[in-house]
Amino acid sequence: MAKHNDLGRRGESLAKAHLESLGYEIIDENWVHGKAEIDLIAWKDSVIIFTEVKSRTGTGFGQPEDFVDNRKQKLLAEAADEYIYLMNHQGEVRFDIISVLFKGDTSYTIKHIEDAFWPTA
């Protein structure tokens, strides 16, 4: 398996544990619709939270969260719309980003950006 795939999986696992430690219920992982994949879908306080996880080993090209560009936001919004439709969810939704920056094999920092963006059409 490619090293970047391992890094992404590690980041998603850490992000999931982070959310659970804050009282979020993970209701889906790696949910795919079309060309989009939503890394984590969580539930807290009657809100569905669609979470994009970005993991990196350095900031030479920017912070991990900088890689959630407008194109990615649009894809996530389209997938979220389908998920909301399938679940017949009538309440609030939110889009979060969790950035995981690894420093060596055992050290990392997590940045949880709530309500990181609101996708536009």
What CATH number should be reported for the domain holding residue 15?
3.40.1350.10
Total structural domains within the chain:
1
Report if residue 46 sits inside a domain. Answer: yes
Report if residue 121 sits inside a domain. Answer: no
Q: Give the range of the structural domain holding residue 93, as residue numbers without chain letter.
A: 3-113
In the predicted model, is pLDDT for residue 5 greater than 80? no
DSSP E strands in 1-121: the ranges are 25-33, 36-44, 47-56, 93-103, 107-113
pTM for this model (two decimals): 0.91
pLDDT digits (tens, 9 = 90+) for 45-104: 999 999 999 999 988 888 889 899 999 999 999 999 999 999 999 999 999 999 999 997
How many whole angstroms separate alpha carbon 87 and alpha carbon 31?
Answer: 13
Report if residue 120 sits inside a domain. Answer: no
How many whole angstroms separate alpha carbon 67 and alpha carbon 101?
Answer: 13
